[in-house]
Chain A
Amino acid sequence: MDFNLREVTVAGPRQLTLQMKDLFTSQGLAVVSTQEHGQPYCNLVAFASTDDLKHLIFATNRATRKFANIDEDPRLSMLIDNRSNRVSDFHEAVAVNAVGLAEEILGPEKDALLKVYLAKHPHLEGFVMSPTCALMRVRVDRYFVVSRFQHVLVLDMKE
């Protein structure tokens, strides 16, 4: 006889990814973390995500420190959250930490990803179209989804 498992509804990848997509839609800015010789370095960036959640997109000037850091070491972490800096954050806020490899988008994919990016941030068209600006892509390996202060789930991207 098996031990009775009562009705249990636990969010699977589908529910979790739907929640993530809602979060990514609701938030314009994310914190990007790169590193320079082992020293972590954080920036705010305007981001967008592809529908399949495989890629996160942001834009940066090529003369910035973060661009140089990525050029040196493409490993990157990006934090997207919906905190309101109120007490309710402890039970309401959700934070998603994406880790993966970043690179400048140069090939034929650029048009499609640029379209995704500008659909969310149309006011940044002038900035992104500048010859000095690089459109960056993060190929996400893993998402850490943190809710209710301490509840942490991990979504690993399958190959």
Chain B
Amino acid sequence: MNLIIPLPLLADADPYQVGEKAFELGVIFRHGIRVPRSLCITKDAYEMYVRSTGLMERISLELGRKDFRDMRWEELWDASLRIRGMFLNTAMPSALVKNIRDPIEGLFGNRPVDVRSSALGEDYTSASFAGLHESYLNIKGIYSILDHIRLVWASLWSDAALLHCKELELDVHHGTMAVIVQGHIAGRESGLIFAKDPAYGGQAVIEAFYSLDERFADGMGEQERWVIDRATGTVISHEGAVQGKACAPSVSEDPLGDLRPGLNKVPSLSGEEVREIYRLALKVEAIFGSPKDVEWTFDGTDLYTLQSLPISASSGKAFGDSRDSHLGMGRGFENIKQLKVRIEDELIPEMMKEAASLSHTDLTALSDDELAGEILERTATYQAWERAYGKYFLPFAHGMRLFGRVYNDTLRPHDPYEFMDLLRSADMLCIERNARLEHLAEQVRQSPALANALRDGRETSGFPLFDNELTCFMNTFGDLSCSGALCGREGDVVRGVILKLALKPMAVEQPRTLSMEDLEEYYLSFFPEERKCFARDLLHLARASCRLRDGDSIYLGRFKGHLATALDEGRRRLSGRLPKIRDADIPKVLKGAAFMPSQEPEFTDDIWENRFTLRARQLVGQPAGSGIANGPARVILHEKDLIDFNTGEIIVCDALEASMTFIIPLASGIVERSGALLIHGAVIAREYGLPCVTGVPEAMSLIKSGEQVTVDGYLGIVIIHDQ
């Protein structure tokens, strides 16, 4: 077992032990190119760590909850967070520390280092995984270095890397990794040279940051760009940095700082320096026999090579895969802040305005042809907003994720979801709505006469306080408590829910041991003074992100509701002729009576279907809300299932939609076919302290309404009891 290999010996090492990146660094060094002092922690060290600590088995269990091919990205993110938590909370065994500590200290002393990933294995080459694994810069002190080696190891299981494995159908259970520890150079200018531009093969491209540090991996900061003609070696064009941002020499999540005034108007590299970088790229190309992308930095006038990468691995352009979008999962603080402004200042007001304009149309006054047009228009509007939702709103959820990651990396909590406690009650719209419902229910509890009136379906005008507040509620939330067929009689539905809430036994409130202020203070106490401001800003951003996870789907629900109302009007008109018709066929039939809807395919006879009855006994999902609950299942297939929902039942649904959340106060547990821990359902479940299991693929097909089920929110399993 060879745990550490110094730079001078890396060229002789097995690339499958040190990784392609470390091996190539060794080769470059042997050819006399200036490289910072470096050493490699081999894959043997990683394997010793995960084997001796039992992490390998725990990772295997975590990723074996369901078929890896069936895991959605939200589930991969959850799994990745839990795995990262395992690495954060599992110390290196002392035998390993003993072996690697002295060589690291001996080589670097107290000087800062960069800790870089060097992935290996046939399918795990740096070409494929460039940017998906992590590197940490400017790390000081042996304990911090050892800590960051673990973080680089953990990045083998990052959500982006897992998604990439899934896409390439790699065996996710057999990943391994080497690490390069390299002396940190606070370069005057740093950057990459793409020796051969994948788009224009005859050109090389130099990208440079005005920086004290290099931050290409995150694509942050504005770079300067030189395009060089490979045939002549002359500069074809130069574009300068314009935004005036530089990379700061820290490891913070917000490393962008303002440039000194005027600096961005001056090219950061002289003509000779540009040529020197280009000559370096040619030399590296000659060594390996093919062009490479080379990361470089200038320390004063000395040019250093930090690493060489397979061509365009760093740009991701040559792969034709979705690695770019996987990289996008690691959205930075600045990027999320910009999204917040766009969503809050532009998109939501636009959505509200457009939704309001739709509600003014009197559908009953339209001709069949006009109604068909209205349905198609509303479908297009809904689909357009659904696309915008995917493009802007969903990525904004990374605000919560970034916060969770920073929280966990800094505080190292035992529970990787502890950070959610700081995001509780972040002014969520559905919580506010349900609190108003509870307030109305309390009035019913106090007045048996009012309860009787509601039970008998009588008018409540004799109870003016209740009636006024109900009207006010309806004006504010009416269209939020339903999204379709119920809208016409939403008053009845809301009254029914209020009555059920009033009759529900009152839960005893568990006092919180720590107030929100205490939690905030505790969180901030882990950050040094100079980072407290960033920590506060990040918490603020995460709360906005959490709030929007609730509100955005409610806003989107309005469009869905308007579409549903139009479809219901169409269905009503056609009910005499076509009692059963698919949504998509309604406008077609309304437009031309001759159109005959296609028939649903008949169930095909199957010998095995006839021989066996399949049912579930225990289904595995993801634990998304701790606790255990027992009760009859209520499978939510239609809106009617919401009306029929009884106190104490378990919600079983495809995904908890905003239009369903008014039944949450009545429920004792939640099971979702999709969902994930930071998705709407789990966020609300946590808010109400309900056991919740998400990501159960068979939930809607194998659980039937009325079946007695147990939701184990600790283990993420659902048990269906014999009837």
Contact = CB atoms under 8 A, between A and B. Distances in A.
Interface of A: 1-6, 8, 10, 12-14, 16-17, 52-54, 87-88, 90-92, 144, 148-158
B101 interface: no
A14 B608 contact: yes
A87 B58 CA distance: 9
A48 B349 CA distance: 68
A148 B617 contact: no
A154 B615 CA distance: 5
B301 to A, nearest CB: 53
A38 B428 CA distance: 57
A158 B64 contact: no
A158 B654 contact: no
B613 A92 contact: no
A154 B635 CA distance: 20
B711 to A, nearest CB: 14
A153 B64 contact: no
A148 B611 CA distance: 25
A55 to B, nearest CB: 13
A10 B612 contact: no
A157 B654 contact: no
A14 B612 CA distance: 9
A19 to B, nearest CB: 11
Given A8-B701, A14-B608, A152 B614 contact: no
B620 A148 contact: yes
Contacts of B485: 1
Q: Which residue among B606, B610, B614, B700 has the maximum number of chain A CB atoms within 10 Å of its CB?
A: B614
Nearest to A157: B612
B613 A90 contact: no
B60 A152 contact: no
B619 A3 contact: no
B427 interface: no
B587 to A, nearest CB: 14
B614 A2 contact: no
Given A1-B583, A3-B636, A3-B638, A152 B608 contact: no
Nearest to B715: A150
A3 B57 contact: no
A70 B65 CA distance: 37
User: What are the 10 A-B residue pairs with the smallest beta carbon separation, nearest first?
Assistant: A91-B64, A1-B484, A1-B564, A152-B618, A152-B617, A14-B608, A13-B608, A156-B613, A13-B612, A87-B57
Given A91-B60, A158-B610, A6 B615 contact: no
Contacts, number: 111
Contact of A155 (B57, B613, B619, B674): B613
A10 B698 contact: yes
B643 interface: no
B57 A90 contact: yes
Contacts of B614: 12-13, 16, 153-155
Q: Which residue among A1, A90, A148 has the maximum number of chain B CB atoms within 10 Å of its CB?
A: A1
B673 A8 contact: yes
B496 interface: no
A8 B613 contact: no
A153 B715 CA distance: 18
Q: Which residue among A17, A53, A92 has the maximum number of chain B CB atoms within 10 Å of its CB?
A: A17
Interface in B658-680: 673-674
B612 A17 contact: yes
B56 interface: yes
Nearest to B57: A87
Given A3-B653, A8-B697, A155 B612 contact: yes
Contacts of B56: 87
A91 to B, nearest CB: 2
Contacts of B537: none
Contact of A1 (B568, B612, B616): B568
Contacts of B609: 12-14
A50 to B, nearest CB: 12
B613 A10 contact: no
A14 B637 CA distance: 25
Contact of A90 (B64, B606, B653): B64
A149 B618 contact: no
B584 to A, nearest CB: 12
A149 B620 contact: yes
A1 B619 contact: no
B700 A158 contact: no
B64 A3 contact: no
B715 A156 contact: no
A91 B58 CA distance: 11
Nearest to B617: A152
Nearest to A87: B57
Given A52-B611, A153-B617, A91 B63 contact: yes
Contacts of A14: 606, 608-609
21 contacts: A1-B568, A4-B654, A8-B673, A8-B700, A10-B701, A10-B702, A12-B606, A12-B614, A13-B608, A14-B608, A53-B611, A88-B60, A91-B60, A148-B67, A149-B64, A151-B618, A152-B618, A154-B615, A156-B612, A157-B611, A158-B613
Contacts of A151: 66, 618-620
B637 A2 contact: yes
A45 to B, nearest CB: 24
Nearest to A155: B612
Given A3-B636, A12-B608, 20 more contacts: A1-B560, A2-B637, A2-B638, A3-B657, A5-B637, A8-B701, A12-B609, A13-B608, A14-B606, A91-B60, A91-B65, A149-B61, A149-B620, A151-B620, A152-B618, A153-B615, A154-B616, A154-B617, A156-B615, A158-B611
A87 B484 contact: no
B164 to A, nearest CB: 20
Nearest to B66: A148
Contacts of B66: 148, 151
Interface in B605-635: 606, 608-620
A16 B616 CA distance: 12
